[in-house]
Amino acid sequence: MPPLIGVDISSTAVKMVELSGGAGAYQLENYSIVPLVKDSVVDGHIASLEQVGVVLSRAWKLLSTRERRVALALPTTEVISKKVLMQAGLREHEMELQVETEASQYIPFALDDVNIDFQVLGPAPGDPSDVEVIIAASRKDNIEDRVGVVEEAGLKVVIMDVETYATEAAYELASNQLANGGRGQTVMIVDIGAVKMRVSALHDNQFIYSREQTFGGYQLTQEIQRQYGLTFENAEISKRKGDLPEGYKTAVLEPFKQSLVLEVARALQLFVSSSQYNKVDHIMLAGGCAAIPGVDVAVAERTRVNTVVANPFTNMSVSSRVKQKNLAADAPSLMIACGLALRRFN
């Protein structure tokens, strides 16, 4: 597949990643993160096409690439997906018909209003005369908004993925950070963004659990605004740079870190008590809040579980165009964009 750029339109920023090379020897060509004005994207919906369009153009310019082909993802909450079994060896149009029949049974919208896609996963476990097929459906207007705003910015959408799948693809790389690549072990990934905390768990590198709740760095930004009388935008900048008045660390940052640690500890308990696994071997922290200095240590102390900050680029070579200084802090919030950039290779 020719080069493409992974583009994540998240609730706080547009993030782009470009990779080159090939399996086992990827190179990070460049990445960019450009913040969005607050409420441009709300709950996965693009509320301001104009704002998002401007930021997409800026993020693309910062990459200084010639490539305009991109992979995008839909928020998981906007996609209904279902695994079904079908007879092996069906022809394409026979499968399409069956997919429509299956889909009409579980999609709560008129089929005319949705886009349906499917992919054969492989032979059904236990019965080789069947294949497992994953069907994914999303409302057309969701897709059209995303594709429209990206194409308006002069880019070309060649892949439309789902955020969960993109995260899974990036995890495959980040799992290199764990002993034995996570094989045979139980790993809990906690992605803490601005407003959402997403918890997923894997056993032997298979995803077995996921849950999401409201919690994120926006709370800290609001507290900074309140304490120091800053606008949202300035509070965000100062927060990332860490250049806030004396006393910030103990009075504002530390209490937030404590509540973050508590949320992770609770999520761990919830997972352990609701699954067949009675322990977790590693916690992997992702999302922008994983960049807060020392959160990994604090989580490890509280939970007694080995904790790492996700970095899907660990084993990659890095092009000289990349600003290395920020890479480690930015990496945990680039999981989706990186997973999308990887689509070039499969």
Ligand X SMILES: Nc1ncnc2c1ncn2[C@@H]1O[C@H](COP(=O)(O)OP(=O)(O)OP(=O)(O)O)[C@@H](O)[C@H]1O
**Is residue 54 near ligand X by the rule CB under 6 A?**
no
Could you give the string, one character per residue 190-219, with x where binding to Mg ion holds by CB under 5 A and - elsewhere? Answer: ---x--------------------------
The phi, psi pair for 24, rounded to 5°, reads: 85, -20
Whole-angstrom distance, CA of residue 183 vs CA of residue 180: 6
Mask for 1-40, x = binds Mg ion (CB under 5 A): ---------x------------------------------
Determine, following the binding rule CB under 6 A, whether residue 296 of this chain makes contact with ligand X: no
> With CB cut-offs between 5 and 8 Å by kind, which of ligand X, Mg ion, none does residue 344 bind?
none
Q: Applying CB under 6 A, does 175 fall inside the site for ligand X? A: no
Cβ closest to ligand X, residue 187 vs residue 253:
253
Contact indicator for 169, 336 with CB cutoff of 8 Å = no
Subset of residues 181 to 240 that bind ligand X, contact rule: CB under 6 A: 193-196, 216-218, 221, 236, 239-240
The candidate with the shortest Cα–Cα distance to 135, out of 150, 120, 123, 146, is 120
Residues in CB range of 76: below 8 A, 6 or more apart: 162, 163, 164
Residue nearest ligand X by beta-carbon distance: 288
Does 292 interact with ligand X (rule: CB under 6 A)?
yes
- Return d(Cα 6, Cα 18) in angstroms, integer: 6
Q: In angstroms, give the least distance from the CB of 193 to Mg ion.
A: 4
Q: Rg of the chain over CA atoms, in angstroms?
A: 21
**Binding residues with Mg ion: total (CB under 5 A):** 2
Measured from the CB atom, the residue of 102 and 191 that comes closer to ligand X is: 191
Of the candidate spans 83-91, 188-196, 201-209, 308-316, the one that interacts with Mg ion by CB under 5 A turns out to be 188-196
236 binds, among Mg ion, ligand X, none (CB under 5 to 8 A by kind): ligand X
Instruction: Report the candidate in 75, 59, 191 with the shortest Cα–Cα distance to residue 138.
Output: 75
- DSSP for 204-223, written as a single string: TTEEEEEEEEE--THHHHHH
Task: Choose between 7 and 103: whose C-beta lies nearer to ligand X.
Answer: 7
Interface with ligand X includes 329 (CB under 6 A)? yes
Q: Which of 341, 329, 327, 323 is nearest to 21 (CA)?
A: 341
d(CA 229, CA 231): 7
Among 6, 53, 182, 287, the residue binding ligand X under the rule CB under 6 A is: 287
339 sits near ligand X (criterion: CB under 6 A): no
3-state secondary structure of 267: helix
Residue given tokens 């999981």 in the structure block: 335
d(CA 346, CA 344): 6
Binding site for Mg ion (CB under 5 A): 10, 193
Binding site for ligand X (CB under 6 A): 10-13, 193-196, 216-218, 221, 236, 239-240, 287-289, 291-292, 329, 333
